[in-house]
Structure 1
Amino acid sequence: MFFFFTLTLQAQFHINGIVKESASNKALPFATISTNNGINSITDVDGKFDIHSKTAVTSFTVSYVGYNSLTVEVQKNKLFFNLKLTPKTAILNEIISSNENAALSIIKKTIALKNNNDPQKRLPNFAFKNYNKLVVSAHPDSISGQIDSVFVRKYKQGALYKIDSTNYKLKSTVSKRHLFQTEKVSQHQFSNNQLKETILGTKMAGLQQPLYEIIAFNLQSFSVYDTKYELFETKYNSPIADDAVKDYYYKLLDSVSIKGRNSYMIYFKNKMKSKAKGLEGVLYIDQNNFAVSKAIMRIRGLLNISGTHEFEYLAKENIWFPVHKTFQIIKGKNDDDIRILGGTIQFDGDIEQDFKSRKKQPSDYIYLRSENHIFDIRKDEKSAVKKSHFTVEIDKNAFDKDESFWEPYRKDSTDTRFKKTYSELDSIAVKKNIANRVFFGKKIINGYLPIGFFDLDLRKIFSYNNYEGFRLGLGGVTNERFSKNFRIEGYYAYGTKDGIFKGSIGVATIIDPKANSWLGFSYTDDVREIASTSFSIEKKPYKIYDPRPINISTFYNYVSWKSYFETRLIPKTESIWEIAQAEIQPKFNYTFNTNNLFYTNYTMTTAMVSLQWSPFSDFMQTPTGQIEIEKRFPKFSFQYTQSLGRLLNNDFDFSKFDFKTEYEKRYLNGQKTSLLLQAGYALGAIPLTHLYNTSPNNITKETIIQRITFGGKNSFETMFFNEFFSNKYSLFQIKHAFNRVTLFKKVKPSLVLVSRMAWGDLDNPEKHLGINFKTLNRGFFESGIELNQIFNGLGLTAFFRYGPNQLPKFEDNIAIKLSYVLNLGF
């Protein structure tokens, strides 16, 4: 496991080893290695080094501050060196102490001057091009020679050993080609404090149409000056953030020359005990202007991840501008397997925790490496950045570039494996129909089963509630194989308890593909829970089942005609604009009295706009539409509904305003905090069916055991169905999820603490006849714990109701629920 793996297979000389302190036998991280033929390298955080050279290495020197340097002669056939440095005992403590103080002083100056050294702060405009190459592969010579054939071998003891053919095939494969690779050439423009990437060309082995999700994958920050440095889509407090000195230790290792300018070499390490909770690495700080002239960032945990940044000094501006970035992932040590990019990675057991170490497999040597070469830097680029609200935009011809386009950008023309990868993987993709399998997988993740030109909606096949009983049906939508400009969607269902058929049919045509704009019409005859709140713009994640509706008994039937326009034309938003006319018939005993007129069914004609705004997220513009490539919080949802006078026999005049915001904070230790704030206000003559019930999920039964059902995600577990109604309300929820705790080998519950509260009121409750209920003017409060995924996805939750609406009997305030999480591995 090293910082500087090389992809050059033609290297004729290769040495590696480890550097330790002689007395304590502890590894010396970031010791300097200098070879006789001019190669300079450093050891990694484990004291290991790995050097490849095309010319002979006859000797090398190892140096480390406070220790005596060691020169080593390279002997023939010796590749691994276990080296130990002796300290300069007389002055070691003084040197270490002074170096720690010196490092802190240098870092403080670097932090103070970073705005002066950050190209994105110093230069109002700039542009450059970038060539990126990402490879998933393994070094053939790192895999044991014992699997060079599949023949049975005979040992001296008489034992027979049969080589695993899978292992043999892996080594044979990576000797000829990489496992996966992709390339792209991009134009980057910086203006108005925004950096936009326009992808001019992109190519992905085995896929004629590259996956946008992989293209948009953010492996590392562009700038080392970001307050939150990003490595593999996780953000860490930067070692040169304003408050960095409270999170990191610093140590001055050496003074080196970079591009002819002297730089301090400073090692940094997070103060947390767990290595996986923060960054460590080396910063090279220019001794003159205290700018970063080189940076190595690393995290160690389930995956060992490293990122390097190299710079070019611009004398006129007196700044260092990034010109080369590398990113690498290799597997770390842990007792769990994890899933990443669609595959499973196994990990060694942690010996310190008494887990058994499994036998090394060739796949343990697989790595992912990404390289970025920045060129054609224009510091005075003043052209306006078009569509700057997109972080990434893909040129419409980016997928159609031939070899003449790529050759000028490829730095390593001698890598024969790289050249063979495209032809072989493209051939395999055709043979194994990879394109269709990718198409199929993306549909399944979103809850659809593609059958020819039609996507079957898996959510429509089966469900259950206390009014319809078992709801059986079929539904779906035509896909792009039917037409890219037109779609037909619908469903048909039958309730075994109410004995009624219901369904929907709709058509839509695309108006603007790049803005995902569709104009559609639909007819629906179905039932819906009374007083339920839904934001039309929000797309519910796919669930095989939705547990909350199981116990709902009060529904209303609606027969509606609707025309709608959905679009992402407004930057960083998605919206639906609709006009609808619906005939409403409550399926329970209810009468609405307004102006001394009594309604048991009614007509509602409304206009509605539903909008979701994600101001902090990053978006990609593709030739086929827009994609949210990095979800950031908070996100906001707004919905406004207005009745339309007497148009189309509308019975009531009313307005509804709905608002919702979500915030999510993920911590480096794997924990997560989620916040939800939701509110609604309805004014005018509006029946109970269209008011608010704040999502109750408790049934009226005598004992706790009888009330055990499945818990919901954001529902009030101790609030009984139809207990409270409001025409104005607000609710707040806070959840904190801890890491999963291993109790037994297969029992690893996830502990979540939850608190919910709601306030509301109802104007003129006497107008709603036939149903007894209360209002939320005194508030409602509950808290509880969730122990999810205790065994095979099954969990248990418990909640307690307290406050002004607490019930007289203690046990009536307790709700125990089951939970279930289905892990499909996506």
Structure 2
Amino acid sequence: MKLFCFVMLFFTLTIQAQFQINGIVTDPNNKPLPFATITTADNTNTITDVDGKFEFKISSNTTSFAVSYIGFQTKIVGVTSDKKFYSVALSQKTDNLKEVVVSNENPALTIIKKVIANKNKNNPQKKLKSFEYKTYNKLIVTANPDSIDGRIDTSATYKDFNKKQINIDSSDYKFKEIISKQHLFQTEKVSQYQFGNNKLKETILGTKMAGFKQPVYEIIAFNLQSISIYDSKYELFETKHQSPIADNAFSDYNYKLLDTVPIKGRNTFMIYFKNKKRKTNALEGVLYIDQENFAVAKAVMRIKAVLDISGIHEFEYVPEEKIWFQSNTTFKIVKGKNDDDIKILGGTIQFDGDVKDNYEQRKKVASDFTYLISESNNFDIHYNTNPSIKNPSLYIEVKEDANKKPEEFWNTYRKESLDIKGQKTYQLIDSLSLSKRIEKRLGLGRKIINGYLPIGPIDLDLKKVISYNNYEGFRLGLGGVTNDRFSKLFRIEGYGAYGTKDGVFKYNIGSGVLLDKNTNTWLNGSYTDDVREIASTVFAVDKRVFKIYDPRPINISTFYKYIAWKANVQTKIIPKTEAVFELARTYVEPKFDYLFNYNGQLYSSYIMTTAMASIVWAPFSEFMQTPNGRTETDKRFPRFTFQYTQSLPNVLENDFTFSKIDFKTEYEKKYLNGQKTSLLLQGGYAMGDVPITHLYNTMPNNLTKETVIQRITFAGRNSFETMYFNEFFSSQYVFFQIKHGFDRIKIMKKVRPSLVLVTRMAWGNMENPEQHVGPAYKTLDKGYFESGIELNRIFKGFGLGGFYRYGPNQLLKFEDNIAVKISYVIDLGL
């Protein structure tokens, strides 16, 4: 969701900032020199990028700058007020090159080894017991109008000096006219960071977002770059990379000593690093290493792919603590190159493809010159003060009045006053936001991704419109829930559905009242008359999953009718958890041939009065507290789900006494090479007198048909593809699944499948089988095993998978152990 919201707002292209000089540094053969050092007389410095280009802000009294590169002669370049672009060619040194010698091996490698060995001494989060500081951040999306062809005029057509008529794209005129007056987007934020007990918390004191009445909290939580340069996994634009100073970094990176330069009065080694595998999205950059204590004094991290992304970390040396502490960070997105257009939610963003034979490069349009830049400045820094951190389990907390701060607040914390262009952005952006309906479209996108379509004060539930199963046939319905336009403190929800095959109308009606906004605590009540798949496990705290097409229910034919009264409390009051506590009275009537034998009496229907507690615990996830409530901003693993259900004897005509314990553990690991491993361990234990309707079927998804072709259906998410419906039932079971997905393979331009290897296994047992009269079934005492291969997203989201059943429950005919399934993954282009 964070990535969706961010991409909806910002996609950026080529950068050329104002109030700066630009240029390129080359060798005698006119080849660019990446990461050449550019320094002014006051020791302000920068470096060229991988293409030898540079952008440099200078003061008005700067008269020259020096360009140096190891192995080349340093060149002094004069600065004139009427010149903005400088092409600097360096000459190679005629004497023998003498690198800085640290040992007999690669000097850069020796230096990096010492950086790694001294990380704990130089990392503020390891060396210092505590610290706190404030940060002012400004993010803008803008463009330099001087980069855009044409001039601002009232007409889109004019004549040059030769009276030749020239047509200018009117959209370029409009864009240039807008960008000359204001930025496309602008947001500011003031935060307080506190570190103690090995935890870092951000409290947002003020936030200001042009064009939005309410801040977009997903954007606030979006991680543009790692806060600490010492993290073993360096994060840039929500993508993690192996850090160049991680303990095992040498297996991924090559290093080269470029130069020695002074920073803040201390001498540093300038080391270039580059990924050995040369992937298109690989991390590269430059580290400035203090020659005395081998701490990072400055870092430039970059990815040059479809988007050219860079993150710069600058530090101040603190003599009292003998440590480099981060003072400024800069994040930039620049337009990169790609062969294909990228589609985002139906809107096409065009990127320049590489020039090839018989192809011409696309002509740049005005919007190609827009860019995004985010700058953060740290101040009011205190060390070892043991700050009192409220709610330390939260990663981010947004103050209630953060978006209501007066202008005096912002003038206090801004490093520089807003220029006229920045001021007009806040004044004019509201009209642009309204005309483009950005805020409305963003809200609509949020709802649709979760399966709702807002219509006035009601969000229609897209999951309820149409579905199909073998018992109801086509299930046609309509449902929804009231939204904030109706009330922020009270909600009403419900649905109605009709099955074309069983000819029965089902419905639900419910309501809820908000008890506490900060902990998202709701008190709910509902009445339901519907059907449900037998022996299916439902965790009350599971997140709602919306699929345009959910294939598994198509094959299900055994359901039970239930009429339920429920009251529950939903809450996030316990840190890093979400819980549901529920009381329910349910009338159950199996809609298949089944009787439950209880103490010699056969039940064809029964009543269950139960109390249930369900909780999901995500100890490693990051959470954000906003004025709208608490949300999980960074989903991490492992995460654990527990659910306990207890029947209540002699309460509201309850028929049976039983208990159920269900649990689930999920783990997911994403690798830097694009691969992903997912593990799922799930189990349940039913004790007492439990009808088969409320036992376990371990998610079968195979049809009882003669041939493999007849059994081809859509694959489920975590289901046994070779297990036939109603083949196994258990009162206790454990299920384990492992999936390993490889990065997508490009076979043709639009054929890029992803290979996934899958293995599933389960064991189970049935206690008191004599209680279940009617259905014939087997048990999982000896275990059930299947493995398979999925080729997902072969074309337009469609894929194909094959699975094989083996082990003690393998069937006699070879073909009966095989299942072929179609998969479908919706691609939003994110």
2:104 and 2:219 map into 1 onto residues whose CA distance is: 43
- Number of residue pairs matched by the alignment: 819
Does the C-alpha gap of structure 1 residues 189 and 286 become closer, same or farther in structure 2, counting only changes over 3 Å?
Answer: same
Matched residue, 2:823? 819
- 2:731 is matched with which residue? 727
- Residue identity matched to 1:47: G
How far did residue 72 of structure 1 move?
A: 4.4
Q: CA deviation at 1:148?
A: 7.6
CA 151–4 in structure 1, closer or farther in 2 if over 3 Å, else same: closer
What is the DSSP-based 3-state SS (H/G/I as helix, E as strand, rest coil) of the residue aligned with 1:92?
coil
**Contact 1:66–1:95, Cα closer than 8 Å, also in 2:** no
Matching of residues 46-445 of structure 1 within 5 Å = 46-53=51-58, 55=60, 59-72=64-77, 80-88=85-93, 91-92=96-97, 101-145=106-150, 151-152=156-157, 162-277=167-282, 279-338=283-342, 344-351=348-355, 357-413=361-417, 415-430=419-434, 434-445=438-449
- Listed as ranges, the gaps of 5+ residues in structure 2 are 1-11
Q: Deviations over 1:20-56 (max 9, x none)?
A: 3x36x65322111235786532111222223344537
Q: Which has the higher contact order (CA 8 A, sep 6+)?
A: 2
Aligned counterparts, 1:262-661, within 5 A: 262-277=267-282, 279-338=283-342, 344-351=348-355, 357-413=361-417, 415-430=419-434, 434-661=438-665
Do the aligned partners of 1:312 and 1:323 also contact (CA within 8 Å) in 2?
yes
* Aligned residue identity for 2:471: Y
Q: Distance in 2 between matches of 1:3 and 1:132?
A: 21
CA distance in 2, matches of 1:52, 1:5: 14
TM-score after normalising by structure 2: 0.93
Alpha-carbon distance, 1:133 to partner:
0.5
* 1:734 Cα deviation after fit: 2.1
What amino acid maps onto 1:111 in structure 2?
I
Deviation at 1:378, TM superposition (A): 1.8
Partner residue, 2:3: none
The amino acid that maps onto 2:21 is H
Partner of 1:806: 810
The 1:94/1:573 distance shift into structure 2, 3 A limit, reads closer
**SS of match in other structure, 1:120:** helix
Counterpart position of 1:704 = 708
Task: Give the superposition deviation at 1:788.
Answer: 2.7
Contact kept in structure 1, 2:15 and 2:370, CA below 8 Å = no
Instruction: Quote the Cα distance in structure 2 between the aligned partners of 1:87 and 1:583.
Output: 88
SS at structure 2 position matched to 1:755 = strand
Which range is displaced more, 532-541 or 805-814? 805-814
Between 767-776 and 264-273, report the one with greater CA deviation. Answer: 264-273
CA contact (8 A) 2:13 2:307 kept: no
| 2: CA distance, partners of 1:63 / 1:30 | 10
Matching residue's letter, 1:44: D
Deviates more, 1:605-614 or 1:776-785: 776-785
1:790 aligns with 2:794: yes
Q: How many angstroms does 1:149 deviate by?
A: 8.0
Q: Following TM superposition, by how much is the alpha carbon of 1:568 offset from its aligned partner in structure 2, in angstroms? A: 0.2
Q: Which moved further from structure 2: 644-653 or 508-517?
A: 644-653
Deviations along 1:62-87, whole A, 9 cap, x unmatched? 21112223344568976555544344
Query: CA 1:707/1:192 → structure 2, altered by over 3 Å: closer, same or farther?
Result: same
Distance apart, 1:545 and its partner CA: 2.3
What is the letter of the counterpart of residue 666 of structure 2?
A: E
What is the distance in 2 between the residues matched to 1:351 and 1:96? 42
Deviations 1:625-665 (A, max 9, x none): 10111111122111111112232222222221111122222
Contact 2:13 2:333 in 1 (8 A): no
User: Does the 8 Å CA contact 2:119/2:295 hold for their aligned counterparts?
Assistant: yes
Whether 1:676 and 2:683 are equivalent positions in the alignment is no
How far, CA to CA, are the matches of 1:501 and 1:91 in structure 2? 89
Contact 1:350 1:356 in 2 (8 A): no
Identity of aligned residues (%): 61
In 2, the alpha carbon distance for the partners of 1:469 and 1:804 equals 35
Take 1:3 and 1:467, find their aligned partners in 2: how far apart are those partners?
53
For residues 353 and 726 of structure 1, the distance between their equivalents in structure 2, rounded to whole angstroms, comes to: 64
Give distance in 2, aligned partners of 1:755 and 1:40.
55
Deviations 1:757-780 (A, max 9, x none): 222222232332211111112222
**For residues 702 and 741 of structure 1, what CA distance do their matches in structure 2 show?**
35
* Inter-CA distance 507–39: structure 2 relative to 1 (3 Å threshold): closer
- Deviation per residue, 1:591-610 (Å, 9 max, x gap): 12233232221111111111
- State the alpha-carbon separation in 1 of the partners of residues 336 and 438 from structure 2: 30
Question: Is residue 635–residue 661 contact of structure 1 (8 Å, CA) maintained in 2?
Answer: yes
From 780, 795, 798, the equivalent of 2:784 is: 780
Residue 19 (structure 1) aligns with: 26
Q: Which amino acid aligns with 1:121?
A: K
* Closer, same or farther: CA 565–66 of 1 in aligned 2, 3 Å: same
**Does structure 2 retain, via aligned residues, the 8 Å contact 1:149–1:163?**
no
Q: Does the C-alpha gap of structure 1 residues 78 and 444 become closer, same or farther in structure 2, counting only changes over 3 Å? A: same
Note the C-alpha offset of 1:414: 5.8
Deviates more, 1:180-189 or 1:168-177: 168-177
Could you tell me how far 1:248 is from its partner in structure 2?
Answer: 2.0
Shift of 1:439: 3.2
The aligned amino acid for 1:313 is Y
Residue 498 of structure 1 deviates from its aligned partner by 0.6
SS in 2 for 1:606: strand
Aligned with 2:769 (options 762, 765, 780):
765
2-structure distance, mates of 1:229, 1:355: 37
SS in 2 for 1:798: strand
Q: Which amino acid aligns with 2:23?
A: N
Contact 2:176 / 2:366 at 8 angstroms: preserved in 1? yes
TM-score by length of 1: 0.93
Matched position secondary structure for 1:459? helix
Counterpart Cα distance in 1 of 2:360 and 2:449: 35
Provide the aligned C-alpha RMSD in A.
Answer: 2.8
SS in structure 2 at match of 1:705? coil
In structure 2, distance between residues paired with 1:168 and 1:661:
57
Q: Is the 8 A contact 1:5 1:50 kept in 2?
A: no
User: SS at 2:113's partner residue?
Assistant: helix
Closer, same or farther: CA 108–343 of 1 in aligned 2, 3 Å: farther
Return the letter of the residue paired with 1:774. Answer: K
Of 501-510 and 268-277, more deviation after overlay is shown by 268-277
CA–CA distance in structure 1, aligned partners of residues 281 and 154 of structure 2: 38
Q: 2:8 corresponds to which residue?
A: none
